[in-house]
Chain A
């Protein structure tokens, strides 16, 4: 056992990594191509990104498999290589020598009626395939993330649990701030949804993407007081802005870390960054977390 399970249940906060897509774009990923293809075509680049996060202080890195479920891969003619991609991505993360490797599982990109034409049976098969591939490749935990529909998160959680009841599984939903509180775009409310995922067998539950770190402090306070389990948070670095040099996010690493470190200190199981964050943000968080503890 890697010890991650114990750590997530009652150990010190695990520092995750930050954004992957923008790092890969800066290193040659063609806009519009699947980031997961890099695991096959330019594996050294993927490892390099993981190494940067490990050097910045990440305790755990997450595999470059956000879109590596067969439904999403099919759009890039990669569905048949689902297992291979997840296996390779796990090896690449491991090569960076992090303390822990977490298998990343993102949404299918489909929605259930009336919004879309998604089908839970296909979702279930897809998540089972991806989850099993990651578990067999030896990840220390799974992170089902950026889910905007509680039902899809539950399908994914149940599907991966069929491969292992032991492995720690973190599940993060994406919330927006509305007048009445925090909800997913489908209308799933914060505390009720996370509580339900805990009872469905998630080891740790939380929120990632969309919400920037100032809003996240409020979200975290609400979740920490209402959800019966430990939490994970990976917010964005503020909101996206376009500049002459391309897209940037509005927050500086120090600002991000100042918002997020108290969330870690308040007992979160794991924290990290989502869109717009890079190793500088993780390094800033590491400094604050170590300062808080020492």
Chain B
């Protein structure tokens, strides 16, 4: 058997082929491949390509989600092996994510969660219609770096503000930052409520990375 090439790995992610991504991850481990290089030039390159195709309007939500699922499946296999190879890996950060109370829109939020997990964050997804108190409770329990909240309705955006206030008021250990998104949300709104805004799921990853870096 040959060691999978970075191009082959990338193609599995771009095609959203979960089974293929899993088997490539397994054969990398079995054959002692360079996991970090495969993640950087194969898997991550693939998910970046998926994001580009989406921004270009060539891919739509199903392809984007399928690509992220393939990435996640591979990372679930690779992360424990990496930890053995290189000693325990700390996640990039801990994220508590959900769609605010009264809002049932799930996809954008779930996609952000999947992409964050695929990019090395520890993600705790609370689902949709999440009360402010539930976010705070979970953030305290997992010692979160980021509390991420989606709102897709102009009628539920105001809950993001209540959440941002509650996060400050709760005085949590790591003083988590608040990341918001959703169709009606804007940079100006985020600034007004003291949060960071992500205009789409792909950008949320970069924003989250900057948020945890500025945190240390």
Interface set of A (CB-CB < 8 Å, partner B): 21-22, 25, 29, 31-35, 72, 75, 109-111, 114-116, 178-180, 183-187, 210, 240-242, 246-247, 275-276
Contact = CB atoms under 8 A, between A and B. Distances in A.
Interface of B: 16, 56-63, 65-66, 69, 100-107, 110, 129, 153-159, 183-184, 186, 188-189, 192
Contact of A75 (B62, B69, B129, B158): B129
Contacts of A276: 154
14 contacts: A29-B155, A32-B159, A72-B104, A111-B107, A114-B16, A114-B65, A115-B62, A180-B58, A183-B57, A186-B60, A186-B61, A240-B186, A241-B186, A247-B154
Contact of B62 (A22, A109, A186): A186
Contacts of B159: 31-32
B102 A32 contact: yes
Given A31-B159, A111-B106, A187 B192 contact: no
A212 to B, nearest CB: 12
Contacts of B158: 31, 246
B62 A187 contact: yes
Contacts of B16: 114
A275 B183 CA distance: 12
Query: Is the contact region of chain B dominated by helix, strand, or loop, or is it mixed?
Result: loop
Grouping DSSP codes into helix (H, G, I), strand (E, B) and loop, the A interface class, with mixed when no group exceeds half, is loop
Nearest to A209: B183
A57 to B, nearest CB: 24
A241 to B, nearest CB: 7
A247 B62 contact: no
Contacts of B156: 31-32
A242 B60 contact: no
Contacts of A111: 61, 106-107
Nearest to A71: B104
Could you say which of A31, A109, A241, A247 has the most chain B C-beta atoms within 10 Å of its C-beta? Answer: A31
Interface centre among B100, B105, B184, B188 (most CB of A within 10 A): B184
B107 to A, nearest CB: 5
Nearest to B61: A185
A110 B129 CA distance: 13
Given A32-B103, A111-B106, 8 more contacts: A22-B155, A31-B159, A33-B102, A35-B155, A116-B107, A187-B63, A242-B157, A246-B158
A21 B154 contact: yes
B184 A247 contact: yes
Nearest to B102: A32
